[in-house]
Amino acid sequence: MKTSGRFALAVSGGQQVDKISWLEGNILLSNKNIHLIGDDSRISVSLSNITMISDDNDSAQSIAVFSNDMRKYVRVGFENNVVIVSSTNHGEFIEELYKAAIGGNKIKCKH
């Protein structure tokens, strides 16, 4: 999947980033990696290294402090880092991200 949007590193090496710097660019998602490509920066994450995906209301509320609008965001945790991603087509992106992260594995859940 290829889309555009913005992204920022919120946690780097286990430490919260004091001043979040948003980058505009392309978001590329495959069945193995997610690539966030800006003009001056690139973040590549192997899906096997993802430890957390959060698309809940709490993250949108806390991120609103750093943003001038109420776009939808997803937080992706990997290797003691957290990146915040806002895609132009959030619904499709988050669905494809979850599908790619699961990778065809069966997940048991109790409700």
Separation of CA 56 from chain center: 12
Whole-angstrom distance, CA of residue 84 vs CA of residue 11:
9
Tens of pLDDT, residues 93-111: 988 998 888 876 666 777 6
Considering the entire predicted model, what is its pTM?
0.80
Q: Please, which residues have CB within 8 angstroms of residue 88's CB and are 6 or more apart in sequence?
A: 3, 4, 5
Please, are residues 53 and 82 in contact by the beta-carbon 8 Å criterion? no
Please, are residues 38 and 23 in contact by the beta-carbon 8 Å criterion? yes
Residues of the chain short of pLDDT 50, as ranges, are 60-61, 64-65
Q: By three-state DSSP, how is residue 95 classified?
A: helix
